[in-house]
Amino acid sequence: MVKNFEELQQFGKDGLEATTKSFDAASKSAQAIATELVDYTKKSFEEGTQAFEKLVGVKSIEKAIELQQDYLKTAYEGFVAEANKIGSLYVDFAKEAYKPFEGYIAKAVPAK
């Protein structure tokens, strides 16, 4: 583990550096997730507005039901795709936030 004061200082410095790198990676990942969510929200709102405008203009119940079914199918598929994308962004977020600590943790815990 730690044998002398200089090693302890270096260990602390390495920990601070790993933490700083991890926060930087976390910040970038959080920004990417937020941007993706904002873009999806805008797109979803626009598609919902367009579907409503089409629905208001129909003359028959059958056409209204058809439009609504098409919109719901499209909205659901878009949601599932976006959820998968956001999920992978969170996985990347965790990997990038942990990466700076890999070597640091190896130093802290001696191999048996």
Residue 82 lies in a domain: yes
How far apart (Å, rounded) are the C-alpha atoms in residues 81 and 87?
10
Residue 24 lies in a domain: yes
Number of residues in the chain: 112
Residue 111 lies in a domain: no
Residue 112 lies in a domain: no
Please state which of the ranges 6-20, 26-40, 65-79, 82-96 shows the lowest mean pLDDT: 6-20
The whole-number average pLDDT for the span 83-95 is: 93
Residue 109 lies in a domain: no
Host domain of residue 39: 7-104
Number of structural domains found in the chain = 1
Query: pLDDT tier at 103 (50, 70, 90 boundaries)?
Result: confident
In this prediction, residue 40 carries a pLDDT of: 96
Q: Please report the sign of the dihedral spanned by the C-alpha atoms of residue 23, residue 29, residue 34, residue 37.
A: negative
Residue 60 lies in a domain: yes
Question: Helices 5-56 and 61-98: crossing angle, nearest 10°?
Answer: 170
pTM for the structure as a whole:
0.72
Instruction: Please give the residue that has the higher pLDDT: either 100 or 44.
Output: 44
Residue 55 lies in a domain: yes
**Mean of all residue pLDDT scores within the chain:** 87
| pLDDT tens string 62-77 | 999 999 999 999 999 9
Residue 94 lies in a domain: yes
